[in-house]
Amino acid sequence: MTAHRTIVFDLDGTLVDTAPDLINALNVVLDREGLPPVPLKSARTMIGAGARKLIERGLELESRVYGVKDIDRLTVDFIDYYAAHIADASRPFDGLESALDDLAALGWRFAVCTNKLEWLSKRLLDELGLSWRFSAICGADTFGISKPDPAILQQTVARAGGELSSSIMVGDAGPDIGVARRAGVPVIGVAFGYTEVPIAELRPDRLIDHMRELPAAVESLTVLRQTI
């Protein structure tokens, strides 16, 4: 059986602008604790390491230190609220679907590799009418490992029917660059996502400012790989 050429995407900050709903859910949880809301603009860089880490970062802004049990409680509350409001304001980044159409026409298959929970990832993509585009949607709980552990990318590619030797990673932050590097996969960085460290400083193989640039970036990496 021939392996499919596979493009693996991060989810939050790469495929979908999820910050409004994530930060709203965080602020609901903080409000229940009597804490002030986190401004959306400054909170965008806090996203990407999962719900628990987002809550911890939100508490840190108020110099609050909670114990493990309290963080567990807040995480459950966050997920419950977020799941019910997962696509209130979240939308695919501009140009995404057109780029996927162009790449699919060239024979590429798509997968999602995220540190978000798998069921939340699928619910979000279902709500946005995007799930059908992906051969595999894998989260931090799918294999019990998270980015940048290369095993999550390896197993996501395998589940999508691909091989690492014919795959490309697309992401917006350090865990995406890290997982690609550790797995030996070329990586495209998107400049419109959520990252504390500017994506250019993480030195992805290609950097795009808009999804319309994705097909050309994929093509140039494909040509480069063929010449090595």
The catalytic residues are 10
Identify whether the C-beta of residue 172 lies closer than 8 Å to the C-beta of residue 194: yes
Q: Hunting for tokens 């998107």 — which residue is that?
A: 190
The pair of structure tokens assigned to 177 is 């660059």
DSSP secondary structure, 82-134, as one string? HHHTTTSS-EEPTTHHHHHHHHHHTT-EEEEE-SS-HHHHHHHHHHTT-GGG-
Q: Hunting for tokens 């709203």 — which residue is that?
A: 24
- Torsion 94-100-106-108 (CA) sign: positive
Give dist(CA 38, CA 105) in Å, integer.
42
